[in-house]
Amino acid sequence: MDKPISKIEKIAVNVVTYNRKGLLLECLKSLLKQTYPLNAIYIIDNASTDGTYELLKKEGYVKETKNNPKTEITEIISIVKMSCNRNNDQEVKIHYIRMLKNVGSAGGQYEGTKRAYESGFDWVWLMDDDIITDKNALYHLIEAANLLNQKNEQFGFLCSKVIDKHGKITNAQAIDLDYEKYQYCQWSKFLEYGLVRIKLSTFVSMLISRNIISVIGLPKKEFFIWGEDTEYTLRISRKYFCYLVGKSNVLHKRTITSFPSIFAENDYNRIKNFYFMYRNNSYIHRKYYNYGIIDSLIFYCKLFISTLVNVFRILFGNTNYKFLKIKIILRGRWDSMFFDPL
């Protein structure tokens, strides 16, 4: 870690979890080792059935509750201390919120961000339960925020470099290649400080200020899963410059390291989730990449052709649950034309 940061901000972390109690525990332990102090951790439990609450209670992260989690949203507030040497006396409020049903990653990020924003935190740090943070990950994000403020650079969000369990880059952010003054891209403007301007990112160690939330709003819970982070970061980067912070590192312990594919998927329950991928991604392209009538016509032509290609790939390819997958693709594509989240 470099020199200490003089101004200490109030920071809340939002962690969305569902039936991954072991990974959640690893995530929480890494958060409490941060060299930059945290004030609160919101755990949004999407009605887990694997004993998540019981494990958190056993490990001292949550208390006993008399509420019935099956009939009302349960929030339990506990206080723990950070374990980093510099922050041994730093108390962190753990807000454990158990939802009545699984509202997906989108619903969980919406719920936690909303609660943190309404509680007055300066920053909200977004992630899933399978993220293991380097102890200096948050420090370098805040360090970058201070640097950009000193340079009078108004920015939307900051995010970390992400590697998978094999040490390879994953969840790679898209560089902002938009042209500006003199027709040059400005993605490398702060490269000497390890900052790269990006256009979109995932909810894998993403830091956003309450000022930006007040302007942009919250993640769209209607997405449920897949694409909610793309939509939110595109919504932000349309108005503000956003940056990848090279010094900030996190590990994404995802089970499947390759990009999700309905053609290769053999889990019946996961196949159903691809409906949201096809619906949400088509909506995002319609919303953010169309600039007029001609673009719209081209988009719908491409959508039609892509749908046909996907259907033929499934019909004549070596894959299971063929008719279910075709149904998912057709329904997702069709619904995307009318999907209009709040």
Residue-wise pLDDT tens digits, 230-239: 999 999 999 9
pLDDT at 140 over 90: yes
Query: What CATH homologous superfamily does 11-252 map to?
Result: Spore Coat Polysaccharide Biosynthesis Protein SpsA; Chain A (3.90.550.10)
Indicate the SS3 state at residue 307: helix
Q: What is the DSSP string of 137-172?
A: HHHHHHHHHHHHHHTT--EEEEEEEEEETTS-B-SP
What residue ranges do the domains of the chain occupy?
11-252, 268-336
Per-residue pLDDT reduced to its tens digit, 188-229: 999 999 999 999 999 999 999 999 999 999 999 999 999 999
Measured distance CA(342)–CA(335) in Å, rounded = 15
Q: What tokens appear for 173 in the block?
A: 């952010």
pTM of the model as a whole: 0.93
> In the prediction, which pLDDT does 5 show?
57
In 99-240 the beta strands, taken as DSSP E runs, fall at 123-128, 131-133, 155-164, 174-175, 195-200, 206-209
Over residues 280-302, mean pLDDT: 86
Note the pLDDT of residue 86: 78
**Among 92-101, 119-128, 289-298, whose mean pLDDT is lowest?**
289-298
Handedness of CA 266, 267, 272, 278 (dihedral sign): negative
pLDDT tens for each residue of 251-274: 999 877 677 899 999 899 899 999
Contact between 103 and 224 (Cβ < 8 Å): yes
Distance of CA 313 to the CA centre of its chain: 30
Q: Which of 8, 11, 26, 32 minimizes the C-alpha distance to 85?
A: 32
The sign of the dihedral angle between the CA atoms of 53, 57, 62, 67 is positive
* Mean residue pLDDT across the chain: 92
- For residue 332, give every residue at least 6 positions away whose Cβ sits within 8 Å of its Cβ, in sequence order, or none: 274, 275, 276, 277, 278, 279, 282
Q: How far is CA 54 from CA 16, 41, 49, 65, 237, in A?
A: 17, 18, 10, 11, 40
**For the chain, how far is it from start to end, CA to CA, in angstroms?**
42
8 Å CB contact between 86 and 148: no
Residue 6: pLDDT band with limits 50, 70, 90: low
Q: What is the pLDDT of residue 191?
A: 96
**295-310 residue pLDDT tens:** 888 888 988 999 999 9
pLDDT at 70: 61
